Amino acid sequence: MQTIDRDVLYESLMLNDELEVKKINLGEDKFSYFSVENVLKTPEKAKEMLMKWPALDGGVYTPGARQNFTPMDIVPLLTGYKSIIEQMGGKVTPYNFITSSIIFQKGQKVWENSWYPHTDYSLVCNLWLSDYDGGTAFYSNNGKCNKKDVPDYKAPHDPNKIVEWENFEGDDDWEKFHVIPSKYNTLAIYDGTNFHGTYAALTKELRYSIISFYREDVTVA
């Protein structure tokens, strides 16, 4: 049985001091998100430690394989997020985060149409531990960007058809208007109730990020 030293893990997940939170405004008819660069002090060590977790894979709605982390597994990371979000005018409790990795590469299978836009919780923290062409794409549905404006929307997933991932470029109803880039050791914080989805030029290299969803509504500046 492989074990992980908690002290070594926690040390690897320490955040840098005096992080700068940048607000990116996409316009009044879209939304804003936040970006924090150079988040972890030792990102390569953090990735090495986190990659020791087992990952679940298989053709499902969500793209790629997943590792699941409890709040106690990644205390320094989530307490760091708490401090960052306080800078943004919000307030969170670290144990209310749901956290997993997204491990994706060319050739992995998904449900057909799982690349259509989806929504999540209102606060999402996505930490990139790889550089990759692409990122998280955001879409508008006939000019509407948030699920509250399209309450009956359901993505046309087909669990009976397992296929390779495709990037969604849009169609008659959907416009792709922005991609938050996947930049190494950079944290993106956004409102997951806006329509979004994975967007990447997949290769055999691993596309690896740690994504944390906050389970309660949070208002930030």
Q: Burial of 163 by CB count in 10 Å (0-12 exposed, 13-18 middle, 19+ buried)?
A: middle
pLDDT exceeding 70 applies to what percent of the chain? Answer: 99
pLDDT of 28 higher than 80: no
| pLDDT, position 203 | 94
> What is the CB neighbour count within 10 angstroms for residue 145?
24
- Using CB atoms within 10 Å of the CB of residue 90, give its burial: 0 to 12 exposed, 13 to 18 middle, 19+ buried: middle
Tens of pLDDT, residues 163-205: 999 999 999 999 999 999 999 999 999 999 999 999 999 999 9
| CA pair distance 192, 196, nearest whole angstrom | 8
What are φ and ψ of residue 153, in 5° steps?
A: -65, 135
The answer, as to whether pTM is greater than 0.75, is yes
Residue 88: HSE in the Cβ half-sphere, 13 Å Cα cutoff: 29
pLDDT of residue 154: 87
Which domains does the chain show, CATH number per domain?
Answer: 6-214 (2.60.120.620)
The first and second tokens of residue 209, run together, are: 């990020």
